[in-house]
Amino acid sequence: MAALAKASGALKSVDYEVFGRVQVVSVLALIVLSHYFPNQYTEQEAKKLGVVGWVKNTSQGTVTGQVQGPEEKVNEMKSWLTKVGSPSSRIDKTNFSNEKEISKLDFSDFNTRY
């Protein structure tokens, strides 16, 4: 990833929070699946794009996290978080904050936090 980042130019970091129907809501499903949906899709998309960071379900029913990587790849991930998401999600809005250029990546992979 470091070689890719250097070759691609500027590195970018952004925090995000996704609102809508973004988590499995039944109690049984929440117990069994809350660590997989939609986080598994977010993690897969991030790894496909080659960005690093994390994703986490919140107790308020949103999904939050941080993405870092080459600017164009972070922008692709932002678009995915705004328009696509997991197959079972309905995205009402996505807030981005703390968007900035960074000199190095703080993460070596993209993972789900619990």
CATH of 20-100, one of 3.40.50.10800, 3.30.70.100, 3.10.20.30, 2.70.70.10: 3.30.70.100
Between CA 16 and CA 33 the distance in angstroms is 22
Q: Kindly state the helix (H) or strand (E) to which residue 16 belongs, with its residue range.
A: strand 11-21
The predicted pLDDT at position 67 comes to 96
The predicted pLDDT at position 12 comes to 97
The predicted pLDDT at position 113 comes to 86
pTM to 2 decimal places: 0.78
Query: What residues form DSSP beta bridges with 63?
Result: 18, 57
Q: Where are the domains of the chain?
A: 20-100
Q: Which tens digit of pLDDT belongs to each residue from 43-76?
A: 888 999 999 999 988 888 888 999 999 999 999 9
Q: What is the separation, in whole angstroms, between the first and last Cα of the chain?
A: 24
Question: What mean pLDDT is predicted for residues 84-100?
Answer: 84
